[in-house]
Amino acid sequence: MSPTNMFTISLAPHQPYTLSYHLSTPSNKVAETIDPAYPTIMFCHPPWIDGYIFYPQFEEPELHENYNLLAIDLPGHGSSHVDSAPAARYEWHRAAETIYFALEALNVAPVHVVGVGSGCYSALRLALAHPEACESLALVGPLTEHEPDAVVEAFKEWIDSLKTAVAEKDKEAIYALNKFAIDFLTDQEGNPVIADWAEEYGQMVEARLDSGEMEFALPYYCDLLEARNELPTQKEMEQLLCPLLVIEQSFIENPTPPANIYTKALDAINARKFREGRACSASRLLIEGTTPSRWMSLAYQEPVNLALAEFISTKTTLSLPPSPATPSVARRPSTPRDITGFFIPPPPKLAPGRKTLGEMMDELEKRGEGVNVEVEVLVQIGE
């Protein structure tokens, strides 16, 4: 298959990049344009991975039956392409601007913004810089100001290893680094869907290296990862205007985590709203877990989905129309990545006589039994 469409926006002549986006509407799970009759939820992904991290939210009926669901891949991530490295450090405020211009290109605003892990930073920066574009803000598992020394060292070693692997065009090292990162950040090593996703994404990264694009994409990953603890200040966060939900983890041995920059900001926002005679609109939800996960939308899918659905349903300014009875295309838990210009070979070491997932899907299609697919549409932005 080939890309269904591509849009081009000229922001600056020097750094063109192509942004892919995943869009679902209540009547079309594989949509190109927003359905204006429904509110829109826009998801912000963490560095290295792409918007497909939100497949549990795209598959949640409480969300996909009532909202447009939109996930935009940052430059160099997922199926987004880059033609050159950024001229300056690609910080979180620049990622937020990238997302904002993509929203303008898609003619959608305001949106309910959801960030996960360090993707919360682009969500926060978007809400602070463009409050008119954000109807509400949900931060799922946001990182705090400080990390354990062991985690800091692990990230530094991973980033240094990635830079070396790209310089040496070491595909095996990049493949291993990708698997390690996804295993560590999801805490879902035994999940077969996550394993398939890691395999697929590893092949995409290898293909990016073969194309020569990885060298250009590298700063987009590393700059954001190195800035993963560069939060807005508490004073900045206290200026948030839209309703805010912060979802964090708690543990049996520590059921009430200590106050952090988010809890302090929540208190300040609600105090301001109280003084202004308005309803308090900032809240915190704790989800009990067994092990830390930076990507709570994957590790704690059900409680996160229910919390998002409840929060957003009370914050939207649109009346929700009835959900269409029959969506036009359903999802499957995998994405054919080759549709956006990356050739993804079959998984290596396939046993003799075994068929790949793609071959099985092709046979089903030929027999007329139907194939459910998800496609990605592209927005090209020159920065």
pLDDT (tens digit per residue) in 271-292: 998 898 888 889 999 998 767 7
* Cα radius of gyration (the chain): 20
- The domain spans of the chain are 6-146+233-382
State the pLDDT at residue 349: 41
Neighbours of 61 (CB within 10 A): 10
State the pLDDT at residue 325: 43
State the pLDDT at residue 116: 97
Give CATH superfamily name and number for 6-146+233-382: Alpha/Beta hydrolase fold, catalytic domain (3.40.50.1820)
State the pLDDT at residue 113: 98
The Cα 46–Cα 139 span in angstroms is: 12
State the pLDDT at residue 45: 97
List of the chain residues with pLDDT < 50: 1-13, 319, 323-352, 354-358, 371-380, 382-383
The Cα 169–Cα 280 span in angstroms is: 53
State the pLDDT at residue 317: 58
The Cα 160–Cα 27 span in angstroms is: 45
Closest CA to 86 of 224, 207, 183, 190: 224
Closest CA to 137 of 168, 115, 104, 166: 115
368 Rama class: left (phi>0) / alpha (psi -120 to 50) / beta: left
State the pLDDT at residue 251: 78
**Percentage helix, strand, coil for the chain under 3-state DSSP, each rounded to 5:** 40, 15, 40
State the pLDDT at residue 16: 65
Let me know if 300 is exposed, middle or buried by CB neighbors in 10 A (0-12, 13-18, 19+).
buried
**pTM, 2 dp:** 0.81
